[in-house]
Amino acid sequence: MSQRKYFGTDGVRGEVGGATINPEFALRLGYAAGQVLARQHNPIRGRPTVVIGKDTRISGYMLESALEAGLSAAGVDVLLAGPVPTPAVAYLTRALRLAAGVVISASHNPYQDNGIKFFSAQGMKLPDEVEEQIEAAIDQPLGCVGSEALGRARRIDDASGRYIEFCKSTFPNELDLSGMKIVVDAAHGAAYQIAPHVFRELGAEVFPIGCQPDGFNINEGVGALHPEAMAAEVQKRGAHIGIALDGDADRLQMVDQVGRLYNGDELLYAIVRDRLTQGEVAGVVGTLMTNFGFEKRMKAMGIGFDRAKVGDRYVLESMLQKGWLYGGESSGHLLCLDCHTTGDGIIAALQVLTAVRRSGESLAEAVGDLKMYPQEMVNVPLQPGTQWETHPGLSEAKARVERELNGRGRVLIRASGTEPKLRLMVEAEDMQLAQDGVRELVAVDLTKR
């Protein structure tokens, strides 16, 4: 894959008014994407059509209008879904047999940021070669098809309703949520009009928070980034479960009735354990950060396990390569490919609730036989040009710690992707063992070989 100028691992993202997240760039991006999609489109199917969804950031209006104009200038029809979760755009793209889907969101970032990413007609990330073609076209002169070929734009009035029904369809017909009190925190984001309805229509008594967006408060003190707000509301309401989503609703955090927080590894375990009662589970994909206890538990259950690089994109790639259905990150990005083509916070929550309703257990009981290993992590400064991967002192220290652990934990050393630091992590059966291991790694002087 060639070096990208604009696209990162999750589309284009940045601060509003910066080099890429501005109206001129969005116009060019829309036109470039429209040209590429139009070339690939089979004319027998009529004019190519794209759906645009967004979260609740104030800048979404501006970027939506610019993208719409660029796509129309390239001869592409546009459907405007309004504020909907990122996975809703993936669903609508597939359900309506569209050429592509576009999401305007910066996920868990503050309102000052925004981003633009694309889904293919299959509801998955665009192939690399298509992204590369779009990149190449962005810097070309802006043009416009003839008036008779301009794209039209219209709003989808029932986008939210369609997606609510789709989410509910992933919950077993023989089960319901009657008698359950659930706090639903939408982070003042894209799911604010959707998430409460999904759980309420399945029978739960819902207490919504984070459902009053004003364009500026997305992710602010609520949602998956700040689960303490949800936990406090659960205690206040005497609820059974709390569900917190992030700004674009592709990430999940949950708490139980006593306010205990469950991370992505634990929630994924609850789902996999339930699926195993219904049939075979071939394997599960985690990341480099997935808890060692999860890996050991999968092995004990006879389930394959693989670690991908950090990022839900890499988890999905590994799942597709192996033909496995379940995967996720500790942060709460969970994928169930038997339900959806992409990570979906609402649907993941429904699968966890399926597990507890089907078994009659509490969430704590559903994950009770998963022993999470204590983790100690330290970030150390990394000088530019330091070849830490081949540093003999670090390699020797890592080998010593692994011998001391003797299968009772693991060592992970990786460079930060955002700052000049090296992350040194040890997981072990007890915290003292993990701390001793990290101390041994930190003692290595990376400036000397």
Residues 175-189 have pLDDT tens digits of: 999 999 999 999 999
- Listed residue (413, 427, 429, 405) closest to 379, CA to CA: 413
pLDDT at 425 over 60: yes
* Mean pLDDT score across all residues of the chain: 95
- With a cut of 60, say whether residue 209 has pLDDT above it: yes
**pLDDT tens, position by position, 344-370:** 999 999 999 999 999 999 999 999 999
- pLDDT of amino acid 418: 65
Whole-angstrom Cα distance, residue 417 to residue 400? 26
**47-56, 269-278, 306-315: least confidently modelled range:** 306-315
Which residues are catalytically annotated?
A: 107
Instruction: Tell me which residue of 333, 310, 308, 311 sits closest to 321, measured CA to CA.
Output: 308
- Position 420 pLDDT exceeds 90: no
Q: Binning pLDDT at 50, 70 and 90, where does residue 448 land?
A: confident
The token pair at 281 is 């589970």
402: enclosing H helix or E strand? helix 392-405
Lowest mean pLDDT among 246-260, 261-275, 406-420: 406-420
Burial of 419 (0-12, 13-18, 19+ CB in 10 A): exposed
Q: Please determine, for residue 159, whether its predicted confidence score (pLDDT) is greater than 80.
A: yes
* Mean pLDDT for the stretch of residues 62-80: 98
Q: Which of 256, 267, 192 is nearest to 222 (CA)?
A: 192
Question: If you average pLDDT over residues 296-309, what whole number do you get?
Answer: 96
Structure tokens at 263: 């991370």
Instruction: Quickly state the pLDDT bin for 264 (edges 50, 70, 90).
Output: very high
HSE of 28, CA atoms in CB hemisphere, 13 A: 17
Helix then strand then coil, % of the chain, to nearest 5: 40, 20, 40
